[in-house]
Each structure stands twice: as structure tokens, then as C-alpha cells.
Amino acid sequence: MNHALWATPFIFAAASAAAAAQDGLTPTDVLETGQLSVSARLQFAKGQGDVSSQTATVDADLTQFDATFQGAVGLIMGLEVEVSIPYQFVGDTKLDGTNFSQEFEEVGFGDLTVSPIYRILKDGADGPQLIIGAIFVAPTGKTEPAEPETQIGPLTVDGEKGGIGDAIWRYGAIAGISKRLTMVEPYLTVAWLSGGDAEVQSDSIEIERPDLWTVTLGAEFHVAPLIALDVRGSAQITGEEKTTDATGAESKEEAHYTLSGQAQLYFTAGSGVTLIVGVGVALLEDHEIDDTPPADLEDTFVWGAHIGIHINLGR
């Protein structure tokens, strides 16, 4: 079982490749030429689910605390380049069954994402804002898989911390549309991220990671001159993942979807400075996470909150 997969497509990453600017921070914003922005967000997530097999059912619990650091620069003719990287302080997944428990722990930096975004049309009287872009993910994060701390009855086997990097180069694309309508700005983005080339781990286990599709629909409400409310929902489709061990035996995690919702407030605190406070929830579709032997993930619910700061440095 890949214990991290049920938490990976969490709420806060639904449109991570989209550009961000001071006016609204909507996923379709693009910085003007010479503008520069930086941001940081602290995020907490808690999740629960069940892992069932033919012989037993165990409780799965997630506790996650991480930060995302992001920067963007406006180049020429509506082109922006955004760079982001996550760091996980706490990443605990616990499996508890009758007379049995396992705990996986993952910490460290994740992979670096670089996203050039091009504004095809600028929001105005003639039409909406329209963007397209690319997504490139470099394997900069710690990649060693976590070795679980396992307890069976009175026997305890120590574990080892793992990382959150994928150890592979990935690429993708994004497109989005938005339109400012007086006090509300609706938007829609569609993103695709490839699974990348198969990863071969040190113990000769080959992993073919799935492609990811994410559709995000939301709106930003400008409720006051210095306050905006962003509400969005996302659907993420995760393709099939296949693992092959040293003997050639294969196991699969079937394709599934994740539905999530998020609301966040933006407070303009000063010239170019915005404070961010948000909450979110996510539901993962019940699906088979291992077919040898059969194991299913069921009734998975994740909730979380985040705070952040976004600074537009201007020209």
C-alpha cells in the first residue's frame, strides 16, 4: 500500500500551477511586466478513513503540517513565470487495527514546480481574461520512502522517516478563464499533470505514477475595498498507478477522484501586502489501493486550515 496517496491531492494543491497577483489572487491573475510577488502559506490538515481487506479493517488517520513558498515575476507581453516549493514539517499516517498498528512519517522539502503562464486575453470591456500555461516539476525533494514503525502485540519495530518528493521529472499544462463583474469575479481552470517516467527505487521496485486532471470552479467576491472572499470547488481525477517488484509481480491502485471545497479571506494590510486565512474539506472516492492482496480505501474525509501572506513588490 502506498500510504501517502489518499492524502496527496489535498485541498490546497488544487490549482497550484496557476498564477497569483495582488488584485484578488485568483488563479487566472497574471503579473504585469516588471512586477514581482512572493508568498508563503502555513497549512494544517487532518484526515480519517478506513482500509479494508478480506480479513480485517483498520482505521487510517492523517496529520499534516506544511508550508508552501511561492514567487512570481511578470515578464513581457502578458507572460509570467511562477516558482513554488513545499516543505512538510509533520506528515504522519497511522494505521490502527486489532493488535496491530503502523505509523508512517514523512518530512522535508518537496519537488520544485515552475509554471510559465501566458495571458491570451486581458479582462476588459471586450471580453474575459484567458490564460494558458505549462507546468514543469523538478525532482528536488527528499525521495526515500518512509519505513513504518510497526507494532504487533508486544513487538515493536522501529521505522524511518521518508520524504515527499516523487524522484521523477513531470510536466503538464493549464488553461483558465475569468471575468470581473463589478463585485464578483468567477473563474474556471483546467490542469493536467503527467505521471512522468517510471521510478525505480533502490530495492528494485518500479512505480508508474498516474496522470492527474484537476478542474477548479470558483469566484472571488469583493465584499469591501480591503477585503475579498474566494470560494472554490475542485474535482481531481487520478489515473491508475502500477507497482512492479523485483520478481516482476505487479500491484495496482485503481483510478479515483477527489472532490474538495475551499474558502479563504484576503485582507489588504498595506501597500502590496495581503493576509490570507482559509479553510477547506476534501472527500476521496472509495477505491482499491492494492490488488495483491486486495485492499480498499473507504470513507475518507480530510479537513484543514491555512494562513498566509502575499506581497506584491511592484515595479
For 252-289, the DSSP string reads EE--EEEEEEEEEEEEEEETTEEEEEEEEEEEEPPEEE
Per-residue model confidence as pLDDT tens digits over 206-263: 788 899 999 999 999 999 888 999 999 999 999 998 888 777 778 888 999 999 999 9
Q: Answer with the residue of higher pLDDT: 113 or 166.
A: 113
Q: Which residue, among 241, 294, 230, 236, has the nearest Cα to 263 in the 3D structure?
A: 230
Is a pLDDT exceeding 50 seen at residue 49? yes
What distance in Å separates the CA atoms of residue 263 and residue 259, rounded to the nearest whole number? 14
In whole angstroms, give the CA distance from residue 191 to residue 210: 14
Q: How far is CA 219 from CA 25, 87, 128, 263, 264, in A?
A: 11, 28, 14, 10, 11
Q: What is the DSSP letter of 153?
A: T
pTM above 0.75, yes or no: yes
For the cut 80, the answer to whether the pLDDT of residue 277 exceeds it is yes
List CB contacts of 248: < 8 A, sequence separation 6 or more.
none
Rank 20-34, 54-68, 149-163, 173-187 by mean pLDDT and report only the highest: 173-187
Q: In the predicted model, is pLDDT for residue 13 greater than 60? A: no
Fill in the amino acid letter for 102.
Answer: Q
DSSP reduced 3-state for 16 = coil
Cell of 155: 513487538
Looking at residue 203, its pLDDT comes to 64
Q: Hey, what CATH class is 11-312 in?
A: mainly beta
What residue spans define the domains of the chain? 11-312
CA 137 to chain centre: 13
CA distance 272 to 277: 17
Q: Tell which residue, 230, 214, 211, has the closest CA to residue 222.
A: 230
pLDDT, mean over the chain: 85
How many angstroms separate the CA atoms of 315 and 110, rounded?
A: 30
Q: What is the pLDDT of residue 107?
A: 93
